[in-house]
Structure 1
């Protein structure tokens, strides 16, 4: 059975989107609901920097329609450390802050590692063992965004697959585009939007990423996010891909 393809952006609070993506005069507190009406997913970035209250997650869940999902960016205190095996307390604090309040709106957890972080099989294996399979009865799916070429290795790919974690595919000028094994869902971060393209990417490229997502969806759910690059164009890119998906 084919998975569902969700397409979105990073966050929802960004001043240049006001008047370009968001209608002029839309109240800031209504911006997430507007994203929910026009896109099918978004990444929560605030959780990368600090913990949020359970009521905040519950409010976000209420703001969006059925079927919409949030990818939640994991705490930097868990991933930006020399010894990943020592991240247990930070991982627990992150997963137990209230993300379960998102319920069926909870998409994957994004574990993002710095570009300077190299693959250490023993340490990374220990880190993966710390990732919980659920929190408060809500199942968790984990996606690993690694940005150093040392991760482009069968040892890492096998390790991620065995942990049931997706390897994020990055379209970026500097980060390696690593293709992980099938773990039942896929996660793409498309980071080359251009200001001179009205839809961020050229139409041919939007079509290519749409075909890529369709192929991935034969094996499970797909999350494709237009992130960074010419950030002001990312909502237009996401809308163009949703239109291309029909």
Structure 2
């Protein structure tokens, strides 16, 4: 028996999907309700562009069925503007902004870095050391939010639950065994990102879960996945979730990961331009015997 597998999409509000994936005439306010009943997880990407409000997270929680999982994309002010300089306040703001309203449906945080952001061991370690790995630690960090957040925070974290973090890199300097060692030290997952060859493709296992982002294998954000490609992904997912890794894995480090009997896995299709993402996600779910 392998780990739990969650397969879904990055975002859900796309005009071209209406009348194709979403039924004709479905009101926009019910799109999440519909999508969450076709797939097991969705990546919230609005949180990347701006801090969302507690009432939005509460609405998303209410719209989705039991067992559904959201991953939450970290705010770009921290990753792209500050580039991890003085991350304490902005990280507290993210954690205070309403994510606790997702309760047990809160899955991993995704921290994505820009293509011109190079591996800086000291800066990365300072950030990783701040990342909370349970909701109690997250609440303690959230309480340090900056004054500008006053009146728009949610600080009820509920019962203690684990929290997970994944990092997506886009610069070749991260092909470094020292980076993989740092991820393993702080139990942060390295995102396996299929980007049609545009950015580094690494499959090093660094945590007790895997995080995949499939942006398109031929054309970034646009191309759909063939049956053959989905069969290949299904085989890799079986290897990872059963505690192993593919024999032909693309690795930056020669050191083997910690042995595990199983790993959970989150996979998001981001090839959304031509409405491939939700259908590719469903086809991969079928290959893995997931409802």
TM-score, shorter chain, exceeding 0.5 = yes
Q: Deviations over 1:55-105 (max 9, x none)?
A: 211211121112211110000011114552411111110011110111111
Shift of 1:231: 4.5
The match for 2:204 is 180
Equivalent positions of 1:59-138 (< 5 A) are: 59-81=59-81, 84-133=84-133, 134=135, 135=138, 136=157, 137-138=160-161
Report the more deviating stretch, 19-28 or 80-89.
80-89
Give the RMSD, CA atoms, in angstroms: 1.7
The match for 1:22 is 22
Aligned equivalents of 1:180, 1:111: Cα separation in 2: 17
Equivalent positions of 1:1-246 (< 5 A) are: 2-81=2-81, 84-133=84-133, 134=135, 135=138, 136=157, 137-172=160-195, 173-192=197-216, 200-218=224-242, 219-228=262-271, 230-246=273-289
Q: Deviations over 1:110-165 (max 9, x none)?
A: 00000110001111111111212233344320000011111111100000111110
Aligned equivalents of 2:76, 2:284: Cα separation in 1: 30
Report the more deviating stretch, 170-179 or 75-84.
75-84
Contact 1:74–1:110 under 8 Å retained in 2: yes
Report the more deviating stretch, 224-233 or 106-115.
224-233
Q: Deviations over 1:164-197 (max 9, x none)?
A: 10000011121111223241110001111669xx
Report the more deviating stretch, 129-138 or 60-69.
129-138
Q: Normalising by the residue count of structure 1, what TM-score does the alignment of the two structures yield?
A: 0.93
SS state at 1:66 partner: coil
SS state at 2:107 partner: strand
Contact 1:192–1:230 under 8 Å retained in 2: no
Q: Normalising by the residue count of structure 2, what TM-score does the alignment of the two structures yield?
A: 0.79
Q: 1:35 to 1:194 in 2, by over 3 A?
A: farther
Show structure 1 runs of 5+ residues with no match. Answer: none
Aligned equivalents of 1:231, 1:114: Cα separation in 2: 24
Aligned equivalents of 2:44, 2:83: Cα separation in 1: 25
Q: Hey, which of these two has a bigger chunk of helix by percent?
A: 1
Report the more deviating stretch, 184-193 or 80-89.
80-89
Contact 2:213–2:268 under 8 Å retained in 1: yes
Shift of 1:210: 1.3
Contact 2:188–2:206 under 8 Å retained in 1: no
Aligned equivalents of 2:55, 2:161: Cα separation in 1: 16
